[in-house]
Chain A
Amino acid sequence: MTSTIEPEVGKSRRRKEDERLITGRTRWTDNLTLPGMLHLAVLRSPFAHAKIVSIDVTEAKSAPGVVAVFTGKDLDPEGAIGMPCAWPITPDMKSPRRPILASDTVNFAGEGVAVVVARTSAEAHDALEMIDVDYDELPVVLGLENALAEGAPLVHEDLATNRNAFWVFDSADAGTGSSVEDAISNSEVVLKRRFRQQRLVPAFMEPRACVVDPTGNQLVMWSATQVPHILKTMTAATLGLPEHKVRVIAPDVGGGFGGKIAVLPEEMMSTLIAQRLGKPVKWTESRSETMVAAHHGRDQIQDITITANRDGTVTGLKVELLADMGAYLGLVGPGVPILGAFMFNAIYKFPAYHFACTNVFTNTTLTDAYRGAGRPEATFGIERMMDELAVELGMDPMEIREKNWIKHEEFPFTTVAGLTYDSGNYEAATAKAKELFDYDGLRREQKERRESGDPVQLGIGISTFTEMCGLAPSRVLGSLDYAAGGWEHAEIRVLPTGKIEVITGASAHGQGHETAWSQIVADKLGVPFEDIEVIHGDTQSSHKGLDTYGSRSLVVGGIAVVKAADKVLAKAKPIAAHLMECAEDDLEFSAGKFSVKGTDSSTSIQDIAWAVFSAHNLPDGVEPSLDSSDTFDPENFSFPHGTHLCAAEVDTETGRVRLRSYVCVDDVGVAVNPLIVEGQVHGGLAQGIAQALFEEAVHDEGGTLTTGTFADYLLPSAADLPSFTTDRTETPSTTNPLGAKGVGEAGTIASTPAVVNAVIDAVRHFGVNDIEMPLTPMRVWHAIQHGSAAAGGLGSEAGGGLGSIDATGGAQ
């Protein structure tokens, strides 16, 4: 190697994306105005469950500026299949047809019942008020256990049940472990707890929007979506349109967090209306609409039983979940809790495991993917349980983890859930985190405060976690009945002047793909970072892809880029040999140049690019192009992990929680851009901490979302959060050539249990062993006042009991 060029991968490059974003030259969907464009506004049901008796649109139709008004019956074209659900987790899963607009019954407050088309958005919204809908209210069913109770009202009469699906994994049946029932009968300790995962709102900052232009040969849809490729295919399938006549563009997208995975009824109605009127249309929602109409996340009740010996060795894990699907099934909604099935056993060596999940319909907004999708819920369950087990056994919570986790030398390790973790080093991450945190010092301080009866008590929370990233192995997704694969595609175009275009199927919405992909290609091809343009989010230029979610972009999409770059070099090599009149075997490639070994004769990628373009002197039979594309479908997931430590101060007189310090050491394998990694971790921590302390989507008993604006839904501001200390260890993944593992969800997954464990640790001596999230001052204060009697306290008995769960889900 003669290269003196510093490698790009591993460098904290400032982002290419920033320039347009900091100067206001961004292309958000809502910025787009097309000639003759009309505006849509959707009328939404105020009731969570009602029959639509009649809809009178006469007055609205003649309102100023109004061009047309449509109701559900108008928008149910022949051949349309209803809104799609792509994850039929069991053969008998109940999949109610979700129309584009409700026409007979509304099943959640916020469901669309009519749409106005007008010259301006203001006129469209004005006319909504002139539509007269006559509803006959039906009984509303809310709360998982209520929905399953004998005689409960039914969300969908025709299904005759609110039970959507039942999915089960058992290690004894799967041959990955022994029987949990045996573990329960034979273990010295059997600990059972119930936790609730409250409902959350993804709350991306850019509300959803779409613009549809039907006037060209292809119908073009711009949408604030995470999944332009999926949206294109689903639009064609849902509406019975020829797919080659549809082009989807996701321009700059202002955050997603899973919340923009959905294929929207509004996207479908915009398409139909644009086609019918022959004019471009725009739909942009208000924040209050987003809150009720975009999907929510989490919302589970978890019954967990852990069994162990007195020495602290775990012997079995049994998980029974109830998961709220809302009123209909989202695109991947039914599969979200199932993803958790593979993560409940976390980093521990459980010999026996049983997981069962019941998905349930209620009269609420549907739930679907939200940052981490299934894995934060699982990690919360297990990390809370490890703390409870430690207390039960009189051990330090760190000690019980160390005793049971997979040791560094045991990798690769096949877990009881059947996944093979390729690499990991929990010891190293934990050691580093403990040092940064001053674990022993804080434990001492905690003891002193407890002894002195300080009104402000200190608690330490631990979360040692892993997650499965790189949602791909298409075979695995197939075995879980997911409708699509998980591969990713990339193309590299070498332009005549030696500049490079990289086209990726992984469509970004804030993750910095343009920068990271440039770094990868700069290293592979030896061209300057600045000479590379990354193109994404347009199904015309990036014609294949499966988009961005589940921390899959880098570890699947980034590897497709690596493979495509390898192909570019493979195509360039014979040409280089021809140009330099040597044998291919005599060539070596480094820093963008092919050189003849042992000489100073060389030719650069740029020279070859021009030679290929001019095509004056190419070897016989060689295609005059270096352009290459490839697809990557990994053999296995990747498994980032980390140790998160939180110190929380709890004011025992007011119940207020202050995070005093938060330290995390994440192992994301090789970090292509450490700056982006750090940013992703920060954002993830904020979301996970917010679940622990602030956020909850609450419905009143009629099914109205009472946290339907940013005034009521407590999204943390800068003043609500501390600064974090983040660091990394680097244990490369062995399942991809970059050694990367993925990072997008790590912070969210790990932080929620770390914070809750810290708060409970601070007030445990008041007899508290659980507090329902979010840990509002009121709930914390109440728990301190009433101890375990109110706060859970199922002790070590196996058996029923609700813990602190309020099954109606009412937060005060």
Chain B
Amino acid sequence: MRITVTVDGTSYTDDVEPRTLLVHHLRERLGKVGTVVGCDTSNCGACTVHLDGHSVKSCSVLAVQADGCEVTTIEGLARDGELHPVQKAFHENHALQCGFCTPGMIMQSIDLLADNPDPDEQAVREGLEGNLCRCTGYQNIVRAVRDAAHEMRPGAGPEAERLASDTASHVGAGGE
């Protein structure tokens, strides 16, 4: 099947097998290896990307389902050489060790902040429930997300921009 997907701002048209998963399309066909695979049961979240601005586990989406969509991966977050505030917060808070879960964690954290710009600790923990990390014990990840929340308002990054347009009322209600 022929599909066109815009990934990190570049449009790619390719023939794919119907069974190809989005994560494999990204990694193997498009060379977008920043998104990684940690499991085969959609439990780990390592493969999390944004599909039209919302986080998905790219191992549970078929490439053909992404036809005509915008995908943002970890590689497309930094703008003009500036790290996304969530990326920066992960670095500042030592929220990663081996870094394998990190792309997925960051993508999920951004989505979490889009839904809830000022989450308390419990909300962050629950919002990251689908992303496993074996190294950090999560504490610094939680700290990073909460730090980023303070940094980000309003509209500090590409996903926050998405937010500004598509869930403006929600942000208005939740923001400070």
Contacts and interface: CB of A to CB of B under 8 A. Distances in A.
Interface of A: 14-15, 17-26, 28, 30-31, 122, 203-207, 252-255, 257, 286-288, 509-512, 675-676, 678-680, 682-687, 709-711, 715, 717-719, 721, 723-724, 747
Contact of A721 (B78, B91, B138): B138
- Leading 3 A-B pairs by shortest Cβ distance: A24-B34, A21-B99, A254-B100
B110 interface: no
| A14, A25, A718, A747: most-surrounded residue (chain B CB, <10 A) | A718
Given A255-B98, A678-B94, A205 B133 contact: yes
A418 B22 CA distance: 57
A710 B57 CA distance: 15
Contacts of A286: 39-40
Contact of A205 (B87, B94, B101, B125): B101
Nearest to B45: A717
A26 B34 contact: yes
A22 B99 contact: yes
Interface in B160-176: none
Interface majority SS (helix, strand, loop, mixed), chain B: loop
| A30, A254, A288: most-surrounded residue (chain B CB, <10 A) | A254
Interface of B: 17, 24, 27, 32-41, 43-44, 46, 73-75, 77-78, 83, 87, 90-92, 94, 96-103, 106, 121, 124-126, 128-142
Contacts of B130: 717
Contacts of B125: 717-719, 721
Contacts of A511: 97
Contacts of B32: 24
30 contacts: A14-B92, A15-B91, A21-B96, A22-B74, A22-B91, A23-B74, A24-B73, A24-B74, A28-B36, A28-B100, A205-B100, A206-B98, A207-B38, A252-B99, A286-B40, A287-B38, A288-B40, A288-B41, A678-B140, A679-B136, A682-B139, A710-B39, A715-B132, A717-B128, A717-B129, A718-B131, A718-B138, A718-B141, A719-B129, A721-B139
Contacts, number: 173
A128 B102 CA distance: 32
B132 A717 contact: yes
Nearest to A203: B134
Contacts of A288: 40-41
Contact of A255 (B43, B131, B134): B134
Nearest to A120: B28
A18 B100 contact: no
A359 to B, nearest CB: 27
Contacts of B39: 286-287, 709-710
B142 to A, nearest CB: 6
Given A254-B100, A723-B121, 12 more contacts: A14-B94, A20-B99, A23-B34, A24-B33, A206-B36, A206-B98, A254-B98, A255-B135, A257-B134, A682-B140, A718-B126, A718-B128
Contacts of B35: 24
Contacts of B135: 205, 255, 510, 679, 683
Given A31-B33, A709-B40, A723-B121, A19 B91 contact: yes
A253 B98 CA distance: 7
Contacts of B106: 22
Given A205-B133, A710-B39, A723-B139, A15 B101 contact: no
B96 A22 contact: yes
B62 to A, nearest CB: 14
Contacts of A509: 98
B37 to A, nearest CB: 8
A731 B43 CA distance: 42
Contacts of B140: 678-679, 682
A263 to B, nearest CB: 20
Contact of B99 (A14, A26, A717): A26
Given A206-B36, A711-B41, A18 B129 contact: no
